[in-house]
Structure 1
């Protein structure tokens, strides 16, 4: 049975589809990744500037069409990664029971990065679904370590802005994903550097 990951932003045309595509490019077939928006521009494609960045990093968004997030999607997801704190609040408002499996993408990366060495051994688990399922409670346990400090866990919305804004948004997404992908790597998967198109 696959492990279902849902990424959520506002319009579902820039940030959440980028996160979806990048996760799909790095995870095995045991994980099913979907994205949706809290106020989706339904049917719209990913803008060219974000598409170029994602494609350069190995993701695929050519046939993407934006979709609206629904309570059913949330209920069916094992992990919901939102692109801002406000999106997280929206998800939990829709399905309160999802509170313990809904984090901002950058929060998850931040929490995973402080899990002590040796606590989590991905090589003992059969696939990425099992590794993500085991990693989530360990990450949530790290919230105590981060309490009392101010954190910026939002990914900037680049829609309609400059190429530099798209690059900033993309970099925030990849910096959030990198600790998670490193943590669940049971064997070397090649570089986790994210090549990208250059936007000025």
Structure 2
């Protein structure tokens, strides 16, 4: 099988695809997708101009469904755009094309890796990736002003993969983002805060640009 152009394991180098994965693709992964886009907009203006593409899907994705209403409220709290979202079921082509897969839980990570496509070295839970990124010296990464954001992002993923196994979580639960599906808005907001805090160092490391308020 020939992978589509722009896939993560080879192909074009002018784009970098980030794929967020949860279960239904109506709560956690839509929040993470849109908060990532929002953070990239804050730093880069238009993420697409830097070659970054952010998507999401669910291992039991509610194909064609809107995100949960409470997820929209959480995004509004952060000033992020929730419009136009449509749920997707995770497919092989999504994994093939992704340069970085960030999952809500370890089970999601295992499911993505079990799909094959050499996904193991570019698939992490969100919190796992955050922990690894914090340990990487930014000075060892390409300067995006010279080599572009895409090359920096690819180098970051390689560096994080090299650290995995050496920098372990204090507990297994530390790498999990729990599912707020069906929960009240207060729990959704706590999950939104958790996701946002995990994303901030990741987006800073990817782009080499701190959040405007930092």
Q: What is the TM-score of this pair, normalised by structure 1?
A: 0.86
* 2:190 aligned with 1:177: no
Equivalent in 23, 26, 33 of residue 39 of structure 2: 26
Please tell me whether the aligned partners of residues 109 and 179 of structure 1 are also in contact (alpha carbons under 8 angstroms).
yes
Change (3 A) 1:76 1:185: closer
Equivalent in 108, 115, 121 of residue 136 of structure 2: 115
Give the aligned CA root-mean-square deviation in angstroms: 2.0
* 2:209 aligned with 1:190: no
Where do 1:83-122 residues align within 5 Å? 83-95=104-116, 97-116=118-137, 118-120=139-141, 122=143
Report the 3-state secondary structure (helix = DSSP H, G, I; strand = E; otherwise coil) of the residue aligned with 1:17: helix
How far apart are the structure 1 equivalents of 2:59 and 2:37?
Answer: 21
Change (3 A) 1:172 1:189: closer
Shift of 1:141: 2.4
What is the total number of aligned residue pairs between the two structures? 192
Unaligned runs of 5+ in 1: 193-200
How far apart are the structure 1 equivalents of 2:199 and 2:129?
Answer: 8
Please tell me whether the aligned partners of residues 22 and 29 of structure 2 are also in contact (alpha carbons under 8 angstroms).
yes
Please tell me whether the aligned partners of residues 123 and 187 of structure 1 are also in contact (alpha carbons under 8 angstroms).
no
* 2:36 aligned with 1:15: no
How far apart are the structure 2 equivalents of 1:148 and 1:43?
Answer: 35
Equivalent in 148, 155, 173 of residue 177 of structure 2: 155
More moved, 104-113 vs 42-51: 42-51
Unaligned runs of 5+ in 2: 1-13, 41-46
Equivalent in 72, 77, 101 of residue 98 of structure 2: 77
Q: What is the TM-score of this pair, normalised by structure 2?
A: 0.81
